[in-house]
Homo-oligomer: A and B are copies of this chain.
Amino acid sequence: MVRNSEDTKKRILKAANGLFYAEGIRAVSVDAIAAKAGLTKKTLYYHFQSKDDLVAEYLMSRDQPNLDAMRKWFDEQEGSIADKVYAIFDGVVQSSQHPKWRGCGFLRTAGELANMPGHPAIKAGAAHKKRFETWLTEVFKDQKLNDAPSLARQVVLLLDGSFAVMMVHHDSAYIEAAGRAAKQLVEASLKNKKRK
């Protein structure tokens, strides 16, 4: 028995993470999370106010790691910005091969809780997506692309489009197609810049 608040909370969050991502929010009971974390429901409720609270913390805990993964794929790719943007999509393709992959947890959660606007989990998802878009905008600005915000937004739409389509088709060719479209849009912007 570990009587360590921080550690216990992390254990609960880890269990919640695994179950919520794999099964969905409403499909997972608090009992199941407590069981997976190896403690009782009452203990779970000692650390979290409610299931909704737990859901929100689950998504907040995914913000940084997800962002880091995207940035890593981008940074480690050699070549032009367009190539680096494509590398993000390629990273998603690789991830999607994993049998446990279930798409974007932020989007799936927001979709499931669409009848609860203002739910803290949806806000967490919005914040995460915004952070990604902002980062990408900065990247494009650093390259002196004059339409950086709108270009970043288009790439975001293609990326989230990949996640959406994958939920129905489970065919990574769609992610690659999105990546090529993104690359094409970035290249068009690069060409436009040089013309100035």
Contact = CB atoms under 8 A, between A and B. Distances in A.
Interface string A69-109: 00000000000000000000000000000000011101110
A160 B164 CA distance: 6
Interface string A157-170: 11111111101111
How often does this chain occur in the complex, in copies? Answer: 2
Interface string A111-147: 1111101000010011001100000000000000000
Interface in A1-36: 22-24, 26-27
8 contacts: A24-B26, A26-B27, A102-B115, A106-B168, A126-B169, A158-B181, A160-B164, A163-B164
Interface of A: 22-24, 26-27, 102-104, 106-108, 110-115, 117, 122, 125-126, 129-130, 150, 153-154, 156-165, 167-170, 174, 177-178, 180-181, 184-185, 188
